[in-house]
């Protein structure tokens, strides 16, 4: 997949994961703990592949092109991957033990996820695309 397609796919995956989070919240409201577990399993595999792609391709390109200091803000955004993943794990442990905690953690997860994906779509992805196009113009090596 070329880099521009990768960025489109990643943005599309944000929609898919946001929809799964909304379904999970709905399942929690209905006390449907099997539904929560099932949605989390779906999310888990999409999210893991997603962050692996972001870190191995986008982050690598930004660091190659701009250096660690030049990519400082983007590195910070990608550091949200771990807390997001931890929240998902926490939710899977809480369900069905504690409904109020579950709701609170779901809200945290939703907020963090939305903040994260909008930072990527408004900031990280456009910057990575610019870096990629600069590289292409310079005739530099194309990321895998």
Please report, as ranges, the residues that interact with Fe ion according to CB under 5 A: 54, 120
Q: Would you say 47 or 94 has its CB closer to Fe ion?
A: 47
Burial of residue 128, with CB atoms counted within 10 A of its CB: 0-12 exposed, 13-18 middle, 19 or more buried: buried
Kindly tell me which of 36 and 116 has the beta carbon lying closer to Fe ion: 116
| Min separation Cβ 33 and Fe ion, Å | 27
Shorter beta-carbon distance to Fe ion: residue 105 or 120: 120
User: Least distance in Å: CB of 10 to Fe ion?
Assistant: 5
Shortest separation between residue 65's beta carbon and Fe ion, angstroms: 19
For residue 127, give Cα distances in angstroms to 12, 51, 61.
Answer: 18, 17, 10
């Amino acid at each position: 997949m070329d880099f521009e397609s990768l960025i489109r796919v990643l943005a599309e995956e944000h929609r898919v994961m946001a929809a799964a989070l909304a379904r999970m919240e709905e399942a929690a409201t209905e006390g449907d703990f099997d539904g929560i577990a099932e949605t989390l399993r779906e999310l888990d595999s999409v999210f893991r592949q997603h962050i692996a792609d972001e870190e191995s391709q986008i982050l690598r390109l930004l660091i190659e092109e701009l250096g660690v200091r030049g990519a400082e803000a983007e590195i910070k955004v990608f550091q949200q991957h771990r807390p997001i993943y931890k929240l998902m794990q926490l939710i899977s442990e809480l369900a069905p033990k504690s409904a109020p905690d579950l709701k609170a953690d779901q809200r945290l997860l939703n907020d963090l996820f939305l903040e994260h994906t909008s930072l990527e779509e408004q900031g990280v992805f456009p910057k990575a695309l610019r870096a990629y196009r600069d590289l292409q113009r310079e005739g530099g090596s194309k990321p895998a």
